[in-house]
Amino acid sequence: MAISAQPPEPAGGGGPDGGSLVGDGEAFGDRSLSQGLSVLVGLGLCVTMLGLGCAVELGQLGQQLRRPVGLLLALLGQFVAMPLVAFLLALIFALDEVAAVAVLLCGCCPGGNLSNLMSVLVDGDMNLSIIMTASSTLLALFLMPLCLWIYSRHWINTAVVQLLPLGAVSLTLGSTLLPIGLGVLVRYRHPRAADLLVKISLWSLLVTLVILFILTGTMLGPDLLAHIPASVYAIAVLMPLAGYALGYGLATVFKMPPHCRRTVSLETGCQNVQLCTAILKLTFPPELIGGMYMFPLLYALFQSAEAGLFVLVYKMYGRDSYKQETLGEEEDTDISYKKLKEEEIADTSYGTVTTEEHNSIQMEPTQTAL
């Protein structure tokens, strides 16, 4: 469908309260910097997906598929809970259609690599974290366009939703499969190189977000951030918190151990903001989406800050309980081992059984103390 039509005037009437960023979007679209940002976002997304693939081991993937708890949690967290949270927040704060689409798009994204790093810091289950991230990324190929289509019906009469490029979204998601597959191959053949690429991808995530903030704030003008309505900032704060809480509750319903609950919590609240930024930047015309491509960057800022507080609280108050939990598991193992050894010692009060050549069995009497 052609998207050369004039962009609509958002419902907010052009002010910060309504969330209109069309004027800023036109200025943004006229700058050659837009193409440079698109290249930066695309490269950052490829490196991130390559790192995700390098973190996946085929053996662990096979085990998880035979017992698909991680797959089920990724499905419920990323494509049931978070899209619904994004939709409800957009309604509660009465966002205009442009801001609502940006929020919905972020809410429908799969999990991001930040959760893998944070899971390490809270002594989480790394295998579960990686499998959930990989599973949600693969499921996004089909479920993300479906969720966008379902939840955007409320704004169906607006041009931004009528021009919602679901085909381009699917194409962008499909293009991420190539670096993921390449990363899995690197992990299979060159594990050391894969470990290095995983670290590079995590650093690239941080560097890309910092560069985008600096370029947008300095070259596109500080007023761009000032034109984003306060309601959008509030949603960027509340969405990760809701995701962390829902993820922990979901893992509690499944009766998972504490370290797995922390993992699922972080996986649910941490979205793939690079993918969201890439879709907003590469599939929507700049004059239509305006400066709302900044929403995933704001989300990344607050989800990182809140995850950092999560880690800090755990380091201060939860680390001792984790050590006691680990110690308890070791004691259980020792007790079980002792019991096993005791069971192996047979009662020889009346005799012992010995074997001789030719497979003969003879009972030898023994002395018993009276």
Instruction: Express each pLDDT in 79-129 by its tens digit.
Output: 999 999 999 999 999 999 889 999 999 999 998 878 877 888 888 888 888
Do 96 and 12 touch, CB atoms closer than 8 A?
A: yes
Dist CA 284 CA 58 (whole Å): 36
Do 152 and 164 touch, CB atoms closer than 8 A?
A: yes
Do 269 and 247 touch, CB atoms closer than 8 A?
A: yes
Question: Per residue in 179-188, pLDDT tens?
Answer: 888 888 888 8
Nearest to 150 by CA among 86, 67, 71: 86
Whether residue 262 is predicted with pLDDT greater than 90 in this model: the reply is: yes
Do 225 and 238 touch, CB atoms closer than 8 A?
A: no
**Domains of the chain by range and CATH?**
41-316 (1.20.1530.20)
Dist CA 155 CA 17 (whole Å): 18
pTM of the model: 0.72
Residues 6+ apart with CB under 8 A from 23: 14, 290
